[in-house]
Amino acid sequence: MTDYEVLGLTPGASEEEIRAAWVKKVKEFPPDRNPAEFEQVRNAYDALRDPRRMAQSRLFSAAFSQPLATRLDKLQKQRQFAGPQPWRAVLKTK
């Protein structure tokens, strides 16, 4: 689950939306009653506040937004295009 999904946001949310989602989730999962859920929410909020970690979260959510079967199909097509062992073609030409 990505940081955006933990807070119930979509990638590209503004700072105000992130802050509002944080407040809502903290009220939903107070630290004294739900420490595990609160820790997850706190980590997601910390990640989305930091610009570098936010970029990593966006990249991760974009990479895994497609189903696994679709990603495997793309990988298989790339391998067929390059051949099973493209380095052998390089060795034969020299």
> Can you give the residue ranges of every domain in the chain?
3-66
Q: Rounded to 5 degrees, what are φ and ψ at 85?
A: -140, 80
Mean pLDDT for all residues in the chain: 76
Q: Residue 33: its pLDDT value, please?
A: 92
Closest CA to 44 of 34, 56, 32: 56
Fold of 3-66: Helix Hairpins (1.10.287)
Dist CA 91 CA 62 (whole Å): 37
Q: Residue 28: its pLDDT value, please?
A: 92
Where residue 66 falls among pLDDT bands split at 50, 70, 90? Answer: low
Is the pLDDT score of 63 beyond 90? Answer: no
Percentage of the chain exceeding pLDDT 70: 62
Average pLDDT over residues 72-84: 62
- The sign of the dihedral angle between the CA atoms of 50, 51, 57, 60 is negative
Q: Report how far apart, in Å, the C-alpha atoms of 51 and of each of 14, 27, 42 are.
A: 12, 25, 16
